[in-house]
Amino acid sequence: MTKQDLYETLGISRDADEKGITKAYRKLAMKYHPDRNPGDKGAEGKFKEATEAYEVLSNADKKRQYDTYGSVSDTPGGYDMHMDMGDAMSIFRRVFQDFGFGGFSGMGNDFFTPFGRQNAGRGAMGRAAGEDGSDIITDITIDLIEAATGISKTIEIEAKMKCSSCKGTRMAEGGEMIVCSDCGGTGQVKEVRRTLIGQIINIAGCPECKGRGEIIKGKCRQCKGKGRVHKNRRISIDIPPGISDRSSLRLTGKGNEGLNNGRGGDLYVVVRIPEHDFFKRNEEDIAVEIPITIGQALLGDTIVIPTIQGDEKYSIKPGTEPDSVITMKGKGMPRLGSRGRGDQYVRFFYILPEKMNSKQKKLAKQWFALEKKERLAIRETLKKRAKGK
């Protein structure tokens, strides 16, 4: 493990709790995931670094040792943290098992499910086993009104598609598959390490054949023996009403294509909803602030209040005080996956004229004179409160 500051890697303070550590890791893992950054070694390295940092700081024992010694591997009894991409992806899948998009089981299997799916097993002589396509993660931005009504969008993604030349076989015409001489067709190689506590045997995928147990003699020139090529693909998405910011939609089989009858990966679309200038959302409820004049507050009036469903008339009661809050039932966001809606909360505040004309000044002076008794009563009340009476 490199000597980076793990807290700095995740962008968190040293007193961050478990929830904060997990939240920071999820954000970085989404940003630097290999499927979102194909061929970008820099992003791949940051993905592994963030995963290594999370693996240490989310474990109480490892975190304690790191906080004490600044390392988890260079001290007696330390933890070996030489993480490869397979380990990093395994941790990623484990963390996103409870990504926080649950609670909407009524939406069906295509919504709010964890990232990642294990590849189909590749035993010895992988030619008999299908190779599943990997998942793709992307995002889309919609506004709050679109989130309230639901909307269909078309996005464009880059996906791995079967090569049109070799039809996914990875071989050129006349090519053939031969047994990998490095692993003898098992797809695995054995590494033996001697340590102070004895011999450690590590079994890993064969690097020569990538765990398939066989290699190609005569690769397809178009895909260079990979069986797939990168292509742009347009996909339509139905975003349900009531969806919240950073929720994920899963489109089964819309990710990277599989090979040898393997399943296609899934497409995960993370929905971004920027904060609205007027409507402030709190789960299913909406809060707004409405200005009213002194005259409206004193005498009452019928006004129009915007909601996410359209304008609504409302009668202000005479004597409405500043910072009064009313509830407009059922005028909030739809409840995702169920019936009903949240409420809209309206706070009234007074607005005063920046400059008064002569008539306004005359009326204000008359009002000031009429409220002399009220001002004296307020003064006496304040005196008693100041003396603790």
Please report, in tens digits, the pLDDT of each residue of the chain (389 residues total).
346 789 999 999 988 898 889 989 988 988 888 877 877 888 888 988 898 889 889 888 788 877 776 666 544 444 445 566 767 777 887 776 544 333 333 333 333 333 433 343 344 444 445 678 888 889 999 999 999 999 999 999 999 999 989 888 888 888 888 888 888 788 888 777 766 656 677 777 788 887 778 888 888 989 888 889 999 999 999 999 999 998 889 998 899 988 888 888 899 999 999 999 999 999 999 999 999 998 899 999 999 999 999 999 999 999 999 899 999 999 999 998 788 999 999 999 998 888 888 988 888 888 888 888 888 888 888 888 888 76
**What pLDDT is attached to residue 88?**
78
- The type of residue at 231 is K
DSSP character for 128? Answer: G
Report H helices in 241-371: 294-299, 358-370
**What pLDDT is attached to residue 278?**
94
CATH top class, domain 280-386: mainly beta
Distances (CA, A) of 4 to 46, 70, 76, 132, 352: 11, 10, 20, 35, 56
* Bridge partners (DSSP) listed for residue 250: 268
pLDDT digits (tens, 9 = 90+) for 96-136: 654 433 333 333 333 333 343 334 334 444 444 567 888 88
C-alpha count within 13 angstroms, C-beta hemisphere, residue 146: 15
**What pLDDT is attached to residue 344?**
95
Element (H, E) at 201: strand 198-205
**What pLDDT is attached to residue 201?**
72
**What pLDDT is attached to residue 26?**
87
CATH 1.10.287.110 positions along the chain are 1-98
pLDDT digits (tens, 9 = 90+) for 359-382: 888 888 888 888 888 888 888 888
What are the DSSP E strand ranges found in the chain?
136-141, 151-162, 171-179, 188-195, 198-205, 214-219, 228-239, 247-251, 267-272, 280-282, 285-293, 301-307, 310-316, 325-328, 344-351
Determine the CATH number of domain 103-157+231-272: 2.60.260.20
CATH 1.10.287.110: does it fit domain 1-98? yes
CATH 2.60.260.20 positions along the chain are 103-157+231-272, 280-386
358-370 vs 372-386: helix crossing angle, rounded to 10 = 60
